[in-house]
Amino acid sequence: MRKEDEITKEFLDNILASIEEGVLTIDKKTRITSFNRAAEEITGFKKEEVLNKECCHILKSDLCKGSCPLEEILETGKPVFNYEIMITNKTGNKVPVNITTSPLRSSNNEIIGAVENFRDLTKHKGLW
Q: Is the pLDDT assigned to residue 128 strictly greater than 60?
A: no
CB of 117 within 8 A of CB of 99?
yes
Q: What's the confidence (pLDDT) of residue 127?
A: 53
Segments making up each domain of the chain, as ranges: 2-120
pLDDT in tens, 66-101: 788 888 999 999 998 998 999 999 999 999 999 999
DSSP state, residue 1: -
- pLDDT value at residue 10: 83
The torsion angle over the Cα atoms of residues 66, 71, 72 and 76, rounded to 10 degrees, is -150
At 51-72, the pLDDT tens digits run 999 999 999 987 877 788 888 9
pTM of the model: 0.86
Given this structure, which CATH class describes domain 2-120? alpha beta
Q: Percent of the chain at pLDDT above 70?
A: 95
